């Protein structure tokens, strides 16, 4: 969906941000779309897996549903994984993700 110029133009038309800010946000969004292959929306939840410097695997559920819903969903997923795989996991929720 759109290249850098298209996103920058859209941001300038829909918001009151300046050119530089619109360009920075557009660069971030375009890079995120390339990295994730999709953008999270109400209809699309995006899963991202990565390994930290110690080699531990992390899963990020990009879900823009707000911290209340994400926190409840994260606790439920954590309990399910812990019981299913007999491991102890940590989970945190933000406005737009579960980590």
Residues 82 and 62 occupy one common structural domain: yes
* SS3 assignment, position 62: strand
Residues 49 and 71 occupy one common structural domain: yes
Residues 25 and 43 occupy one common structural domain: no
Residues 44 and 31 occupy one common structural domain: no
Residues 1 and 24 occupy one common structural domain: yes
- Give all strands (DSSP E) within the chain, no chain letters: 46-51, 57-62, 97-98
Give me the mean pLDDT over the 76-84 stretch: 94
Residues 72 and 58 occupy one common structural domain: yes
Partners of 97 in beta bridges: 62
Residues 46 and 84 occupy one common structural domain: yes
Residues 46 and 92 occupy one common structural domain: yes
On whether the CB atoms of residues 48 and 60 are closer than 8 A, the answer is yes
φ, ψ dihedrals at 88, nearest 5°: -100, 125
Residues 68 and 85 occupy one common structural domain: yes
Q: What is the pLDDT of residues 1-60, one digit of tens each?
A: 458 999 999 999 999 999 999 999 999 999 988 888 999 999 999 999 999 999 999 999
Residues 54 and 79 occupy one common structural domain: yes
Residues 65 and 17 occupy one common structural domain: no
Give me the mean pLDDT over the 59-74 stretch: 96
In sequence order, which residues have a C-beta less than 8 Å from that of residue 70 and are 6 or more positions away? Answer: 61, 63, 93, 94, 95, 96, 97, 98
| 35 C-beta neighbours (distance < 10 Å), count | 9
Q: Which domain does 12 fall in, by range?
A: 1-37
């Amino acid at each position: 969906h759109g290249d850098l110029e298209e996103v920058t133009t859209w941001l300038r038309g829909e918001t009151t941000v300046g050119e530089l800010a619109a360009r920075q946000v557009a660069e971030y969004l375009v890079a995120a779309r390339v990295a994730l292959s999709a953008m999270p929306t109400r209809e699309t939840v995006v899963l991202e897996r990565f390994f930290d410097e110690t080699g531990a695997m992390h899963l990020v559920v990009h879900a823009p549903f707000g911290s209340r819903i994400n926190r409840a969903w994260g606790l439920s997923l954590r309990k399910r994984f812990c019981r299913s795989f007999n491991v102890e996991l940590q989970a945190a929720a933000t406005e737009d993700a579960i980590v």
